[in-house]
Structure 1
Amino acid sequence: MEKLIDNPTIPNSNYSSMIDLLSHKAMIHPEKVVYTFLSNDNQDETDITYQELHMYAQQIAAYLQHLGLEGQRALLMYPSGIDYVKAFLGCIYANVTPVPVYPPGLSRNMERLKAIMDDSATNIILTTTQLHSKISFHFSDELSNMNLKWIPIADISHDYRDQWSQPKVDKESLAFLQYTSGSTSSPKGVMVTHGNILHNEAMIKAACQHNEDTVMLGWLPMYHDMGLIGNILQPLYLGAKCVFMSPMDF
């Protein structure tokens, strides 16, 4: 895997990590809605505030720490939605490196998933109960010898929230692994640090002249770098709001 290098000519961020960022936003904008997810032909809306997002991240992180997973890597296998964001930030808050992936729907996608799991050296998967059941049923033969650890975040008790211990991370700490599509060869991973994310978000803010009053609309897949960095983490960095939907609904 390669490490992403920042461009020193781009303005940097004052935050020390993504944990520092969300904790601060939750303190100054506790009741502000950060994400609205549209589903079922835009008839249903799900909102989450900065404070709620911070608390969910603590809850998931505390459970991952309880399992002794700090410093390890975990695949995020979700459909587009707020649960994806919760799981991503829960990993960040636990110093567990999230690896965003596309849920397998075809045998080719399963081969891609296996390649990513081998390269990232993980057998831990955060997902939904429904998706776990579906994948286990359709790919029972392929998964039988893989010794996977599935963690549905919806099953994590709220009681864990008070047990969260903030890990020691800074701008040089690994935040997540971003993999290429693997359309012409095996997927290739890039190591993205907290500093890389904050640096990139500062660049997008400066280039697009965004601010906390900006309202963004997105539909790109959340395992995609532009969907994650541009549609999900940019509004979080700004203290703004994003309305998003599934690529399939779009």
Structure 2
Amino acid sequence: MTTHLSTPASAPGVAATVPEALRLRSVKEPDETAFVFLRDGEEPEATLTYRELHDAALDRAAALSDAGLAGGRVVMLYPSGLEFVRALLGCMYARVAAAPVQVPTRQRGLVRLRRIADDAGATTVLTTGAVKRDLEERFGDRPELAGLTLVDTEATRAGAGAGRPCPEPAPDDVALLQYTSGSTGDPKGVVITHRNFLANVAETEELWPSPSDGAVVSWLPLFHDMGMLFGVMLPLCSGVPAYLMAPDAFIRRPGRWLEAISRFRGTHAAAPSFAYELCVRALAEGRVADGIDLSSWRVAANGAEPVRWHTLRAFTEGFAASGFAATAMCPGYGLAENTLKATGSRWDEEPSVLWVASQALTEGRVERLRHGAEGAQPLVSSGVTVPGTRLRIVDPGAHTVCGPRQVGEIWLDGPCVAEGYLDRPEESAETFGARIAGEAATSYLRTGDLGFLHDGELYVTGRLKDVIIRRGRNFYPQDIELSAESTVPGLQPNCAVAFSVDDGREERLVLVVEADGRVLRRLSPDVVRELIRQAVRDGQRLDVDETVLVRRGVLPRTTSGKLQRRACRKLYLAGELKAAVAATTATATATATATTTATATANATATAATAGAVTTEGSV
């Protein structure tokens, strides 16, 4: 029987910290399976029971203490696998604030590693033997690694922690430094405590409870906030096994994720919206095994801002014959500054959809229309909060509460809100200390996201800083991007970025679109650009001033695969997108097929971000 250890810590035997949750599991259910890693996303390669994980974590905590790192800060640099989990829990036992970072494969990743290490004040990098050797061989002479000590935690002596006292951290001690995506080139470390983690797990459990026979199946990168919560914290504290696979195993063949859910009777699995779109495409192309049974899947968490209605509908209808229930699709909203999840649709109800007037939305108003009415667009609910978390919709300029039919900035208050940004008091005060006019007693987290409430449910409309203003109207870039993606056959989901630039006379709309050789072999670049331009004009009543076509893999993405609009805009303004125009269409065509899989992998692991632009277009 599953016992949940993440409820409020006032009750006897209930965990107040993540290490305590593991210790209690190792006593109550020592031989139960905690984590399984699937080789190539299919066959179990390694397994950890609660007792094995507890002992391994203590061994690593002892080694960290012997190295004088207890109470300090380190960077964690691990590929997908169970050593990440062992090392993470070892850091927590030793009260070491760990900053998980993606393993760098190219110069860009190496620079990010160094920036995070410097920001965290860490000179020790925990990793595996294989990664250590690879980094030393490939980048040993690079200045980014100078002064950093790479430590192979796999070499930790078994039994090093046996019999040694290991005082556990307090609930308000730092559990993790979760670095933001750094779309501006300046990643910030979100300080997350054990209390934050357990509160977020408790809230997740309240909305999406784990049954006694539950199981998590996840391909998400463990160093990312969504992968951390769903791949490590939720299963550990809820007492259900987690079946983990590498992100590239999913991207190479999305059907593996669904097949693992079927095989291991997964009940909980989460992913960004683009992953569900890839599954729909894989199904249409016959790349999903016959006979999969998804009837056990009760929580398909969909984390994107905003969630696309057509994605939900296509996935639900496409996999209904495989037993997938419409109620299992659970859109949610979250961010690292709130540990992760802030709202979610209930697991036993279909997500709500509102049809609203597009024109009114550009003016910050919510005007409901019937499905199919002219000018109507669908918005999917991101669900509700649970008691303890307070959500307000606020005018970002006046700091006053918005009316019920008004779009504003999403502000949060509750036990999941992190402590702030590491060693950044001014930015922390601005983001985590916001106050509503006339309500000085409560400080809020400013999310930077826009949305509104309807019948107690949150509808996310976009990012505050990404909104495009043309002739006094607000346009949401994701709507423009969807128009572009939907009009050209063969374009992949999540392949377009829209932003505005000021040329000194007026704001101009720029659209950057990834188009591979398969598309350009059928249609010339001029035809693709014209189709996109007309689609945006028809769908948004908006003219695109410049369209830039680039090869797959050029668009910068977060570690979870979300497009980084501000980072793309920065590349455009620096001329780095146009600098690759010299690459010929013939070259792009020849390499596009070979890079398709690697580029898709970049959505989750950012390993194919070095391709250049194909062609560009001037103003309309």
TM-score when normalising by structure 2: 0.38
- Counterpart position of 1:16: 16
Quick one: structure 1 residues 53 and 159, their matched pair in 2 at CA, closer, same or farther if it must change by over 3 Å?
closer
Deviations 1:92-147 (A, max 9, x none): 11111111100111111111111101110001111111111111122122247722
1:70 and 1:226 mapped to 2: Cα distance?
27
**Pairing 1:212-223 to 2, within 5 Å after superposition:** 212-223=212-223
2:184 aligned with 1:184, yes or no?
A: yes
**Pairing 1:220-231 to 2, within 5 Å after superposition:** 220-231=220-231
Q: Could you tell me whether the CA contact under 8 Å between 1:211 and 1:238 is conserved in 2?
A: no
1:162 alignment partner, SS class? coil
2:212 and 2:196 mapped to 1: Cα distance?
21
- Counterpart position of 1:243: 243
- Counterpart position of 1:167: 167
Q: Is the deviation greater in 100-109 or in 210-219?
A: 210-219
Structure with the greater alpha carbon radius of gyration = 2
- Counterpart position of 1:136: 136
Shift of 1:161: 2.0
2:214 and 2:44 mapped to 1: Cα distance?
23
Quick one: structure 1 residues 108 and 61, their matched pair in 2 at CA, closer, same or farther if it must change by over 3 Å?
same
Quick one: structure 1 residues 165 and 100, their matched pair in 2 at CA, closer, same or farther if it must change by over 3 Å?
same
- Counterpart position of 1:51: 51
- Counterpart position of 1:68: 68
2:186 and 2:125 mapped to 1: Cα distance?
20
- Counterpart position of 2:86: 86
Q: Could you tell me whether the CA contact under 8 Å between 2:19 and 2:168 is conserved in 1?
A: no
2:197 and 2:164 mapped to 1: Cα distance?
23
2:80 and 2:108 mapped to 1: Cα distance?
20
Q: Could you tell me whether the CA contact under 8 Å between 2:80 and 2:245 is conserved in 1?
A: yes
> Structure 2: which amino acid aligns with 1:109?
G
Q: Is the deviation greater in 181-190 or in 123-132?
A: 181-190
Deviations 1:184-239 (A, max 9, x none): 33111100001000100101111102244311100000010010112211000011
- Counterpart position of 2:234: 234
1:236 and 1:80 mapped to 2: Cα distance?
17
Q: Could you tell me whether the CA contact under 8 Å between 1:74 and 1:124 is conserved in 2?
A: yes
Runs of 4+ in 1 over 6 A off after TM superposition: none
- Counterpart position of 2:34: 34
Quick one: structure 1 residues 180 and 122, their matched pair in 2 at CA, closer, same or farther if it must change by over 3 Å?
same
Q: Is the deviation greater in 26-35 or in 146-155?
A: 146-155
Return the structure number with greater helix share: 1
1:231 and 1:41 mapped to 2: Cα distance?
14
2:131 aligned with 1:147, yes or no?
A: no
Greater relative contact order: 1 or 2 (C-alpha under 8 angstroms, separation 6 or more)? 1
Query: Identity across aligned pairs (percent)?
Result: 33
1:23 and 1:95 mapped to 2: Cα distance?
15
TM-score when normalising by structure 1: 0.91
2:23 and 2:107 mapped to 1: Cα distance?
40
2:111 aligned with 1:111, yes or no?
A: yes
2:83 and 2:100 mapped to 1: Cα distance?
13
1:159 alignment partner, SS class? coil
Shift of 1:69: 0.8
- Counterpart position of 2:610: none
Q: Is the deviation greater in 50-59 or in 139-148?
A: 139-148
Q: Is the deviation greater in 152-161 or in 94-103?
A: 152-161
> Structure 1: which amino acid aligns with 2:29?
H
> Structure 2: which amino acid aligns with 1:165?
P
- Counterpart position of 2:204: 204
- Counterpart position of 2:193: 193
> Structure 2: which amino acid aligns with 1:148?
L
2:230 and 2:144 mapped to 1: Cα distance?
37
Shift of 1:63: 0.9
1:234 alignment partner, SS class? helix
1:160 and 1:147 mapped to 2: Cα distance?
27
Q: Could you tell me whether the CA contact under 8 Å between 2:219 and 2:247 is conserved in 1?
A: yes
Q: Could you tell me whether the CA contact under 8 Å between 2:38 and 2:44 is conserved in 1?
A: yes
- Counterpart position of 1:158: 158
> Structure 2: which amino acid aligns with 1:236?
L
2:86 and 2:158 mapped to 1: Cα distance?
13
For the aligned residue pairs, the C-alpha RMSD in angstroms reads 1.6
1:45 and 1:81 mapped to 2: Cα distance?
9
Shift of 1:45: 2.5
1:168 and 1:231 mapped to 2: Cα distance?
23
1:61 and 1:222 mapped to 2: Cα distance?
20
Shift of 1:244: 1.1
1:125 alignment partner, SS class? strand
Q: Could you tell me whether the CA contact under 8 Å between 1:19 and 1:92 is conserved in 2?
A: yes
1:164 and 1:110 mapped to 2: Cα distance?
37
Shift of 1:27: 0.6
2:242 and 2:44 mapped to 1: Cα distance?
16
1:81 and 1:159 mapped to 2: Cα distance?
21
1:114 alignment partner, SS class? helix
1:245 and 1:239 mapped to 2: Cα distance?
19
Q: Could you tell me whether the CA contact under 8 Å between 2:38 and 2:45 is conserved in 1?
A: yes
Quick one: structure 1 residues 43 and 213, their matched pair in 2 at CA, closer, same or farther if it must change by over 3 Å?
closer
Q: Is the deviation greater in 114-123 or in 158-167?
A: 158-167
Q: Could you tell me whether the CA contact under 8 Å between 2:36 and 2:243 is conserved in 1?
A: yes
1:65 and 1:141 mapped to 2: Cα distance?
29
Quick one: structure 1 residues 188 and 213, their matched pair in 2 at CA, closer, same or farther if it must change by over 3 Å?
same
Q: Could you tell me whether the CA contact under 8 Å between 1:61 and 1:93 is conserved in 2?
A: yes
1:185 alignment partner, SS class? coil
